[in-house]
Each structure stands twice: as structure tokens, then as C-alpha cells.
Structure 1
Amino acid sequence: MSFAPLLAAALTLGPLDHHEEAPLKAPPTVGQTVPDFTLPELGKEKPVTLSKVAADGPVVLMVLRGYPEYQCPACTRQVGAFLREADAFEKAGARVVMIYPGEAENLQTFAEEFSEGMKLPEGFTFLMDPGYKFTNAYQLRWDAPRETAYPSTFVIDSDRKVTFAKVSKTHGGRSNVQEVLATLKGMND
């Protein structure tokens, strides 16, 4: 199955479809409403739009590093930790959306390699960001040799308002499951 038409559509649709939304000047922060975006989902025909996912409850948005000439072991560990807590995310009514950024050429191949053997539970979605359109729009591009995007995690409510934000300017210092689940619990109290 060829994903070329889907990738072309995603690049055309891209983030910031809604012209009334101003582009971000810095990475999203708590209290800010983030722009909507539409990205292709790995292995699926239909792209995913943030506002549609968020309409059903909070979204945990994880921005991975993609393929900076290797598969990031810190991303693999972080994703594994979140996958192990799938039941807790489901209980909190949250969807987990992971974004794998990179150059459009070969992105699907690298995303498939990263996710090989990974079984996504209900409520988890794996999206690709071809050409860094989302990553640039959200000011998360780590534009340096052997870098792609700042590893970041956001909790976004049904109005696309950020209730938790952690952007790491290093490979470590990422969000952990406990702090994200605590944020979700606070939203439900």
C-alpha cells in the first residue's frame, strides 16, 4: 500500500489549517490554546486531527525525536513506559497521541522501524510529521546536526488548552508517566 497520496494530503492539510489561529512564537505553555493540526497515522488511510481527538477528552501529546540518524533509545524507553500504563490512561479518559517527525522522504520506513513489534492499545495513536510541518508550527524543531525535534509532552483539554507542558532541550529530562497521570487526575477532580 502506498502512502504517497496520504503524505501529500497531510503536507497540504498540515497544522494551522484554521486561518484564524496565529502561529506559535515559542513552544506551547500551560494555559495556552494550541493550533489544530492534521497528520497521517502510521498504517492507516485516514489522517488524524487534534481537535477531533480532543473532543472526546484530554489528549496526551508526545513529540518524539523521530530518526536523527538512529532510533532514539530514550524515546523507546519513554514510549514503553507510557504503553505499560495504558489502563491508567484509559481510566483517566485520555488519548495518547505520539508524533514521530522527520524528513518526508523515508519517514514512513523509519516510523515503521521504530514501532516494529509495538502493539498500540486502544486510545493510543502513532502519527507521522512529514517535513516537520507540525514540529515547526509548534516551535519544537531542534535544528542541529543529528537532531530533529525537542522531546516534548503536553496534556491538552477538549478546548485544545494546555494543562501540562514539558519540553526538553536535551535527550533526557522528559516527562514521565506519573507526572502526566497526576495532571490528568487533577483535571478530573
Structure 2
Amino acid sequence: MRILQQMNAFCVMTLIAFSISASVQAESPAPVQAAKKALAVGQTAKDFQLLSVGGELSGEVKLSDVNADGKVVVVVLRGFPGKQCPACSAQVGDFVKNASKFAAKNAKVLLVYPGPKSQLDQRADEFLQGTKLPAPLTFLLDPGYTFTNAYGLRWDAPRETAYPTTLVLDESGKIQFVKISETHRGRSSAAEVLEAL
């Protein structure tokens, strides 16, 4: 009888440990949880200014200036975490194919490419591979993760840079759609973002 009680106790403890482990694994990483609170629908997006290296807008691009002309989509890419990200390439390709649909909705699309200051220009050129981005897309550099850190999207792990994120801002700068991917997948498609506009 004592052995049976010990086996039952062991089974119960194993189930409890498994449940705790599963719930911990199911929770988002702490930085993602914080970013989801700061970037919640209805919040006003923090202003930022980044350098454009391609697309419709050139020079220093300030979010509030772009937002004054209408809705803005901000797409945070992974940058160069040791290699170019195929999921980022596919996502940008999807937005390029749908550029005219974004233009029809009077929405600017800002693609943010984060990374360390060293070689960021070179890595961005490699990513774009000579592609001329159509209006209303603009490719911005985030050297030293200034924007990424300010928005709480820094994925500070080996061979990582930023949590892939998409924000849709209304004309007043309020977030009306947000999607933060906790992995390399789960990106916002152009169709999903167009629907949110």
C-alpha cells in the first residue's frame, strides 16, 4: 500500500511539474511582454528619426513628419544576425508586391533594419541587393539599436537582433494594429496589414 501511495504522489508531482513547465514555456519572453504593453492598440507611438537608404523618402526620416501625411506602417526586420534573414526577405518581397495597394490607402511603409553600427550600411545593401523599393516603401537603418531599444523590441540573444514587429498607426500616431513575433516566423503579411488599414 505504501508503494502505491508513493507512486501516486510521484505521478501527481510529475503532472504538477509538467504543468508548470508547460505554462512557463507558453509565456512570452519578458521583453516581448513589456513591448506588448508599451505598444498596445490605442497607445501613441514614440517618435523616432532614422536614416533612409532606399525607397520613397530620403535622408533623415522622422515618424511624426511621415505620420502628418496619413497612416504609417512600421515593419521591424531582424537586420543581420550573422546572415541575411530569409523570413525578412520574404516579408519585404510581399510588401513590395503590394506597394500599390498601400499607396491606394494613403499609407507609408517604413521598413526598419536594425543592427550594430559597424557594417550596417553594407549589410543593408546586401539585403536590398540593388532592389529599388517602390513608393510608398522606405528602408530605414537603426544603427546601434536606438529605435529597437526605445520600442522595447531588442532580442538580446546570440545571433539575434530584434523581435520582428509590425505596427499600423492612424493619422494621429495611435497604434491601431500590432503584431510582435516571438520567433523568426509569424510575420504580418501585406494582406493582414492592408486589412488593418
Paired with 2:105 and 2:167, the residues of 1 have a C-alpha distance of 15
Paired with 1:94 and 1:62, the residues of 2 have a C-alpha distance of 13
Unpaired runs of at least 5, structure 1: 1-24, 185-189
Tell me which residue corresponds to 2:112: 99
Choose from 94, 102, 113 the match for 1:89.
102
Paired with 2:41 and 2:188, the residues of 1 have a C-alpha distance of 14
Structure 1 runs, 4 residues or longer, greater than 2 Å off: 43-46
Kept in 2, the 8 Å contact 1:154–1:165? The answer is yes
Q: CA RMSD in A?
A: 1.3
Residue identity matched to 1:124: L
- The percentage of counterpart residues that share the same residue type is 54
Tell me which residue corresponds to 1:34: 45
Residue identity matched to 1:41: S
Tell me which residue corresponds to 1:14: none
What's the offset of the Cα at 1:45? 6.6
Tell me which residue corresponds to 2:20: none
Kept in 2, the 8 Å contact 1:71–1:114? The answer is yes
Kept in 2, the 8 Å contact 1:51–1:158? The answer is no
Choose from 174, 178, 186 the match for 1:161.
174
Q: Report 1:30-179 matches (<5 A).
A: 30-42=41-53, 46-179=59-192
The two structures have a TM-score, normalised by structure 2, of: 0.78
Paired with 1:45 and 1:26, the residues of 2 have a C-alpha distance of 28
Paired with 1:102 and 1:148, the residues of 2 have a C-alpha distance of 6
What's the offset of the Cα at 1:26? 2.5
**Equivalent residue pairs, number:** 160
Unpaired runs of at least 5, structure 2: 1-33
